[in-house]
Chains A and B, each alone.
Chain A
Amino acid sequence: MSLNRSPLVRAVNVHKHFGHLEVLKGINLDVDAGQVVCLLGPSGGGKSTFLRCLNHLEKIDRGSIWIDDKPVGYRLEHNKFHEIREREVAVQRAQIGMVFQRFNLFSNRTALENVIEGPIQVLKLPAKEAHERGVQLLERVGMMNWADRYPAQLSGGQQQRVAIARSLAMNPKLILFDEPTSALDPELVGEVLGVMRGLAADGMTMIVVTHEVGFAREVADKAIFMFDGVIVEEGAPSDVFSNPTHERTKQFLSKVL
């Protein structure tokens, strides 16, 4: 990297296929620290797959993904990418938060236990310190009153807020959001987006796959439209949403706006 300040996330010519189906056909993307990037587009366009490649939940077939100038999922040696073991990938993933469409809270642990699991097990924080931080984070997402509830006792919006606190607890450099509000009842979407707005305002680097055009327009620094595994349009939301240049973006926006 010859740049002075290289981006936090850099995806170079990322390809991915499942069997014969080519899901990603050469994605290039740079995300600077502190930026909020929203990925939009129709389902099946490869947005979620790309997001999952960023923390190596999916292996890419070609290209490279760099976070903090280090390749994700590989070790660069003698100009070759060597696959690294799952437990070494785990060390990389600890710095990348992820929030899932289906929340995926640990169902056998309370809200607070979910939040402190990573700090205690992975960061090896003392229990007391992890506990204090966990309480602070639950406070931040407005879930302190439900700290001792199990996920099954919480609404979708509440679960998703706990899930955001769980990823924050790892002090990530970056958080990936995979359609965080798509599984929520409409009246619960607002509370989750509210927490995400707060994170963006605090300068968290976020890559968000979403169908919430309003949120993207308001919060994102960069909006990206993906169709059929390629990025067809990207730019500041104000430009992209008001003056889409690509025919497919126009079609998509006319349907969702």
Chain B
Amino acid sequence: MEELLNSQSFSGEIPIVPIRKWGRWVSAVIIVGAFVALILGLRHAQIVWGDVPKFFAYRTMINGMVVTVILACACQGLGVVLGVAIAIMRRSKNFVVSWCAWLYIYIFRGVPTLLQLYIWYNLALAFKTLGIPGLFSVSTNSVMTPFVVALLGLGLNESAYYAEIVRAGFNSVDHGQVEAASSIGMKPSQTMRRVILPQAMRVIIPPTGNDFINMLKATSLASVVAVHELLLSTSNIYAANFRIMEALMAAALWYMILVSIASIGQHFIEKKFGNDQSNPSSMSLKLSMRRSLSPRGLMSRGRRGTGGFA
């Protein structure tokens, strides 16, 4: 050491040679190779690619896409409203109420969504009419239109999951926050609105975006109960012209577009609710894209997120 530090050529700084990460280069080459092979393979596939944009822009396809969006929004809306209500019931000190909420979650999470759709679809087999005996009644078939069946099947299922998300959000708020609110004389309703909910939002919002994205895709299940959403419209198209793969590709493209839009929306909502500095990890979309797409980001992923103040 003495020798080096005292030598003529020593300029005060000793250069650092980084570790060569060969594994990363090898895996990157393999993946790129596989990707190229996939593209080459697709060129030989028996798909008339020219038909995909044509089907993509079909009136039927677009109508189906609109129904998909409306159904997803309606189901998610129902899920959120019921989910919050059930989460609040679950917190209740009244044993009967909290047990009821538990049972609801247990049932709707336990039964497959497709099966729930079939049950609602066939409700008329069990109950010819719906209503309160002596007061009013309506024929089940007239109420349970395909859209209503899908709304109940997907929405109630979602509400059970959403209740758990909200519950996790409530639980994430430190009890000291509630005591502090009490100590300045805030009423329970004020504490819920001004202290618990805004803080729980940070935990609730990100999974809500995920759920909505899942819901966009889950609405394709509604095709089996005759809702003319995107997938059923697609099958109507290929039933007429037998261009099955082409129509499916066009539908896949639509789903990807919808999901992308939802993801961007999710990002901004997350930013809005995470802007209280207690969570310094929130990055802008541009920054996070730049970080993950730049070659540096690719090569040094392990170093992400070490910033921020202590």
Interface residues of chain A, those whose CB is within 8 Å of chain B, are: 55, 57, 86-87, 90-98, 100, 102, 104-109, 117-118, 121-122, 149-153, 163, 166-167, 169-170
Contact = CB atoms under 8 A, between A and B. Distances in A.
B187 A98 contact: no
A117 B187 CA distance: 13
Contacts of A108: 198-199, 276, 278
A104 B177 contact: yes
B176 A102 contact: yes
A67 to B, nearest CB: 13
A100 B199 contact: no
B199 A167 contact: no
Nearest to A114: B180
Contacts of B195: 106
A91 to B, nearest CB: 7
The 10 closest A-B pairs by CB, nearest first: A94-B185, A118-B184, A98-B183, A104-B180, A104-B176, A150-B277, A87-B187, A152-B278, A122-B185, A108-B276
Contacts, number: 86
A169 B184 CA distance: 9
26 contacts: A86-B188, A87-B187, A87-B189, A90-B182, A90-B187, A93-B184, A93-B185, A97-B183, A100-B176, A104-B174, A104-B177, A104-B180, A106-B181, A108-B198, A108-B276, A117-B194, A118-B185, A118-B186, A122-B185, A151-B278, A152-B278, A166-B180, A166-B184, A167-B183, A169-B184, A170-B184
A44 B245 CA distance: 72
Interface string B164-183: 00000000001011011111
A100 B198 contact: no
A51 B291 CA distance: 51
B269 to A, nearest CB: 16
A86 B189 CA distance: 10
